Structure 1
Amino acid sequence: MKMKKLLKLMPFYKVTQPLSDITVQGISMDSRSTGPGDLFICIHGVEADGHEYVQEAEAKGAAVVMAEREVTTSLPVVIVNDTVRALAMAASIFYGFPSEHLRVIGVTGTNGKTTITYLLDEIFRNNNQRTGMIGTIQVSIAGKTYPVKNTTPDSLSLQRYFAEMRKAKVTTAIMEVSSHALDQGRVYGCDFDIAIFTNLTRDHLDYHDNFDDYLRAKSLLFAQLGNGYNKGRRKFAIINKDSEQAKRFIRSTSQSLLTYGIHSNADIMAKNITLGETGAAYILKTPKGEIAINSPLMGLFSIYNMLAAAGAAILSGIPLTVIKHAFEMTRGVRGRFEPVREGQEYGVVIDYAHTPDSLENALNTLSEFCKGSIYVVVGCGGDRDRSKRPYMADAAMNRADYVIFTTDNPRSEDPKQIFQDMTSHLSDPFELIEDREQAIEHALKRAKSGDMVLIAGKGHETYQEVNGVRHHFDDSEVAKMILKRMKERPS
């Protein structure tokens, strides 16, 4: 593609030498992956500044550089005032505005994002539609999966994924949208059709200045709804009306609105709710009618996730019978309130709960049907928001009968400092076992018939990061191994 074409959305820029008829073969923002003929765009990231790697990109064969200041190179340099925005614009043009040829559904909030995207994926596939999914666990395009580094990729990767989806004849793209991505402009140029807000509780305050800044970042998805560079299709915002922040999110968008809730009078609601160890039953009330749901997903929070997914499906023209079938046949998401069954007489659940609110919700769900005692094994990640650590401990202490604090991903931090942050204010008894496998084994050996054990914080993760090294560690795998060993060698 001609370089001049990639500049058509940029109102002002200057060049250090004539661009003439330069043809760009690709776009790169990482000198390590730059190829011959690429446009190399310098991004000032959290960990590195692309302006410092221009010569490496030139050595790899880059044809043009885009930067926010003059750089040392023999290549033509296009200087713009904001390379993050310019990257999104150039990527959108290069890949042919692919998100405008898809139905794009974005889900944001502290908890529930992953489950909602998986529920929507099941609904649309049950309606014989090809889907694409971008989120915490993986990227999926028409059934093929790819690993991910961030919950929401950068704008260049997003446009590339959307282009691949279009090529694979995908009709609906479903993605998690993190506060970091919104704040850093990673979704600039992404033409969302439906935006979903789940809830907002303490998280990521290691990145955001305060809770209000976190809220501001999340609300950008709704303020920017209709965010694509070519206009046309109708947009919708779906808001959890039971959330304390619902009004703020409702005010942030001018687009068509659909609300959901259980306690508030909303457009989509759950009535006659029955919760149990085998799932949740309720009446799904919608503007299109009512239908009975009997889902294997446990807990009130799962119902909220289903209400949000139902709203997006209804706005996409999916019949209630298809929604019902997907909800009742779903196997859930790995690491999201995932039961572990190896013939033991008590329940074991793996959950990603890594915020005070999500941990409280998970423990409250267990208390709704647990006939005995509740055990929880939980820790806090290192190099992350320290302010939430005592709140995590409080959620565990207030909702569980037996609490075992252990490591999560300590990263570069000393686990003893993390434990100190979590427990220094506590007076009630708890146990502290630094080795996570030993902590899980201790809980499983102590539990008795009718009890429930919650192993929280890591969910789907298959590693534990210590001092910059990721060691294989899977909570579900470890729990199954211990339970099998206990069955073979009963104490």
Structure 2
Amino acid sequence: MKISDLVKNMEEVEVIGNDIDIKKLCYSTSDIDENSLFFCIVGLNVDGHTFIKKAIENGAKAIVVSKDLEPLNDVTVIKVKDTREAMSLISSNFYGNPSKEIDVIGITGTNGKTTSTFMMKSILEVANKKTSLLGTIYNIIGSKKEEAKRTTPESKDLQGLFRDMINFGDDSCIMEVSSHSLDLKRVYGVDFKVGIFTNLTQDHLDFHSDMGSYFNAKMKLFDNSEYAVINIDDEYGRKAVNKIKGKVLTYGLTNEANLFASDILISSEGAKFKLNYKGESEEILLHLPGKFNIYNALGCIGAALILNITLEDIKKGLESLSSVPGRSEKITSSKGFTVIIDYAHTPDGLTNILSTTKEYTDGNLIALFGCGGDRDRTKRPLMGKAAGEIADFCVVTSDNPRGEEPSDIIQDIIPGVKATGCNYTVIENRKDAIKYAIDNAKKGDVIVIAGKGHETYQILKNETIHFDEKEIVLDFLKEEL
């Protein structure tokens, strides 16, 4: 594609050099072939402008920059204000603006994004929509499923995936949209049919300076969404309704919302509620427990209604979803206790899973959790407090310590647990902690292993090891027999 076509409809762009034909887009020098265009992305730790010489040596014929350069021989320079923004727009043009050809449903919020994508996909498929999914666990396009490398792909990769979806014959895409991706403009220029806002609680303050910045990042999704579906029971959801200029449908648990749930019954097997919308009602049975999953379902119902999907198909879609990997996954021991594996890694997420589990726990509720390293330290005591206020016993352990010492992270958690008066123990090695909890569990007890959910690895300083909690639990339960 000619450079003039790649920069079509872009503002504040200057092309210095020939209008050459580009065969490939790259933001890593290792991907460059002949006739490639290289984006000099200014990252958090690395500036892509420092790799210009390497990019040219590898065959790049065009360079996208945001800084002044000395003239480059035989290389076209595309000068822009923001190389991330330019990568999104150029990539969209390169792949033929694919998000205009499919219904893209984006879900943002602190908790509930992954479960909501699975709910939404189930609804769309019952309605005979050919649907792709992009999220934290998997990317599913057509018949192809692979583990996701990040919650929201980089813009160049994302636009390529949209084109793959269309080539596979898909007409819909449901995707998680992280606050990082919004701030880093990975979804800049994507045409979203519907944006869903689940909730906002403390997380990622290592990246966003404060909750206001975190909220503002989330709101960027709705700048490019034709419709917005907003949880107005959430404090920030109510703020969002006042900020969004487009069409808004609200949901919640009271009739203040356009779409609301009533007659709620929650058990260990799931959640039952009555859906109410424009004078119509429908009984819905979820196989996923907890009030928080009712909220997830309501957001998806709102999006489905906007897409003109019938209540009958919505009901079938939600009721056909039996589980989501690493989200409230239940394993029952022959000794009569239960293990729940869940991704909860925020204070609010931990409160949600523990309070739901507490309702059907006959014995003691044991919370096993840690906190990630090189992330927001201020939420660590809050995690301890959330667990201690609900659980009968806490096992404080390691999570993904990354570059920090696990013991230092644990020491940040402990004051929160102590403040509640809850009994606890510290076992730094996570596998040993799981074994301890299982060895000491009695009939009627429930162990909630929180923080990693679907992840099959643990990040320890400079190495990543295989660590699949479901495998580990099943192995320990076999030893119990």
Q: Same fold (TM over 0.5)?
A: yes
Q: Is the 8 A contact 2:192 2:224 kept in 1?
A: yes
Q: Does the residue aligned with 2:276 lie in a helix, a strand or coil?
A: strand
- 2:398 counterpart of 1:407: yes
- Report what 1:229 is aligned to: none
Query: More deviation in 140-149 or 125-134?
Result: 140-149
Report the AA paired with residue 152 of structure 1: T
- Structure 1 residues 354-365: aligned runs within 5 Å: 354-365=345-356
CA deviation digits over 1:18-58, x for unaligned, max 9? 314x1000111111112211111111012321111112211
Runs of 5+ consecutive residues of structure 2 not aligned to the other structure: none
Distance (whole Å) between structure 1 residues aligned to residue 272 and residue 148 of structure 2:
34
Task: Tell me the CA shift for residue 266 of structure 1.
Answer: 1.2
- Aligned partners of 2:152, 2:185: CA distance in 1, in Å? 11
Asked if the contact 1:259/1:267 (under 8 Å) is kept, the reply is: yes
* Distance in 2 between residues matched to 1:299 and 1:292, nearest whole Å: 16
Note the C-alpha offset of 1:441.
1.1
Contact 1:342 1:480 in 2 (8 A): no
Please report how far the alpha carbon of residue 288 of structure 1 lies from its aligned counterpart in structure 2 after TM superposition.
7.1
Q: Which residue of 1 aligns with 2:480?
A: 486
Q: Which moved more, 1:286-295 or 1:298-307?
A: 286-295
Q: 2:67 maps to which residue? A: 69
- CA change 1:146–1:56 in 2 (3 A) is farther
Matched, 1:368 2:323: no
1:92–1:98 Cα contact (<8 Å) kept:
yes
Alignment correspondent of 1:237: 228
- Structure 2 counterpart of 1:24, one-letter code: I
Contact 1:155–1:189 under 8 Å retained in 2: no
SS of 2:224's partner is coil
- Aligned counterpart, 1:104: 104
Q: Say if 1:80 and 1:279 are closer, same or farther in 2 by CA, change over 3 A.
A: same
Amino acid aligned to 1:274: L
Which segment drifts farther, 96-105 or 60-69?
A: 60-69
Q: Distance in 1 between matches of 2:240 and 2:86?
A: 28
Amino acid at match of 2:359: E
Matched, 1:449 2:440: no
Distance 1:275 1:418 in 2: 34
Cα distance change, pair 374–210 in 1 and its aligned pair in 2 (3 A): same
> 2:334 is matched with which residue?
343
Superposed CA deviations along residues 166-194 of structure 1, whole A, max 9, x for unmatched, are 11111111111111111111111100010
- State the match for 1:463 in structure 2: 457
Offset of residue 12 of structure 1: 3.4
The question of 1:296 aligning with 2:295 is answered no
Q: Is it true that 1:225 corresponds to 2:224 in the alignment?
A: yes
CA distance in 2, matches of 1:238, 1:486: 47
Distance 1:3 1:373 in 2: 65
Tell which deviates more after alignment, 291-300 or 399-408.
291-300
Runs of 4 or more, structure 1, over 6 Å off, are none
2:254–2:262 CA contact under 8 A, matched in 1: no
**What's 1:203 paired with?**
203
Asked whether 1:19 is paired with 2:18, we answer: yes
TM-score if structure 2 supplies the norm length?
Answer: 0.96
In structure 2, how many angstroms separate the alpha carbons of the residues matched to 1:452 and 1:81? 54
Amino acid at match of 1:296: H
Alpha-carbon distance between aligned partners in 2 of 1:11 and 1:437, rounded to the nearest angstrom: 53
Q: Which moved more, 1:325-334 or 1:414-423?
A: 325-334
Alignment correspondent of 2:376: 385
Does the 8 A contact of 2:103 with 2:193 survive in 1?
yes
CA contact (8 A) 2:384 2:415 kept: no
Cα deviation, 1:35-85, whole Å, max 9, x if unaligned, reads 211111111012321111112211221111111124464322122222112
Tell me, in whole angstroms, the C-alpha distance in 2 between the residues paired with 1:394 and 1:65: 51
Q: Label 1:149 to 1:71 Cα distance change in 2 as closer, same or farther (>3 A).
A: farther
2:21 and 2:357 mapped to 1: Cα distance? 60
Alignment of 1:422-433 (within 5 A): 422-424=413-415, 426=418, 428=421, 429-433=423-427
Aligned 8 A contact 1:194 1:237 in 2: yes
Q: Which amino acid aligns with 1:393?
A: G
Letter in 2 for 1:452: V
* Contact 1:182–1:218, Cα closer than 8 Å, also in 2: yes
Deviation of the 1:14 alpha carbon: 3.1
**Structure 2 CA distance for aligned equivalents of residues 70 and 246 of structure 1:** 42
CA contact (8 A) 1:51 1:71 kept: no
The CA deviation at 1:13 is: 3.1
Whole-angstrom distance in 2 between the partners of 1:162 and 1:307: 26
Q: How far apart are the structure 1 equivalents of 2:255 and 2:179?
A: 26
Paired AA for residue 52 in structure 1: T
Give distance in 2, aligned partners of 1:344 and 1:338.
Answer: 18
Q: Secondary structure at the match of 1:386?
A: coil
Please give the alpha-carbon distance, in whole angstroms, between the structure 1 residues aligned to 2:62 and 2:229: 42
Write the mapping of 1:98-177 to structure 2, written as runs, cut at 5 A.
98-177=98-177
- Note closer, same or farther for the CA distance 1:264–1:393 as it changes in structure 2 (3 Å cut): farther
| CA gap 1:266/1:13 in 2 versus in 1, 3 angstroms | closer
Give runs of aligned pairs for residues 308-327 of structure 1, distance below 5 A. 308-327=299-318
Instruction: Verify: 1:189 aligned to 2:189, yes or no.
Output: yes
Aligned equivalents of 1:286, 1:37: Cα separation in 2: 54
2:435, 2:30 → 1: CA distance? Answer: 43
Q: Report the secondary structure of 1:245's partner residue.
A: helix
The aligned amino acid for 1:29 is: Y
1:463 touches 1:474 (CA, 8 Å); kept in 2?
A: yes
CA deviation string 1:221-258 (max 9, x = no partner): 12x134xxxxxxxx211000110112211122111111
Q: Which letter does structure 1 place at the counterpart of 2:319? A: E
Preserved CA contact (<8 Å) 2:189 2:224: no
Q: Percent identity?
A: 40
Matched residue, 1:230: none
In the TM superposition, 1:29-68 aligns within 5 A as 29-68=27-66
Residue 84 of structure 1 pairs with residue 78 of structure 2 = no
Give the superposition deviation at 1:476: 1.2
Matching residue of 2:251: 260
Say how many residue pairs are matched. Answer: 476
Q: C-alpha distance in 2, partners of 1:314/1:34?
A: 44
Structure 2 counterpart SS, 1:199: coil
Kept in 2, the 8 Å contact 1:374–1:451? The answer is: yes
Given that residues 54 and 71 in structure 1 are in contact (C-alpha distance below 8 angstroms), is that contact kept between their aligned partners in structure 2?
Answer: no
Give 1:287 deviation, angstroms. 2.9
Report Cα offsets for 1:79-130 as digits up to 9, x if no partner: 2222112111111111111000010101000000000011111111112221
User: Aligned partners of 1:179, 1:439: CA distance in 2, in Å?
Assistant: 32
Instruction: Check conservation: 1:283, 1:292, Cα contact below 8 A.
Output: yes
* Local SS of the residue matching 2:188: coil
1:328 deviates by 1.5
The residue number in structure 2 matching 1:28 is 26
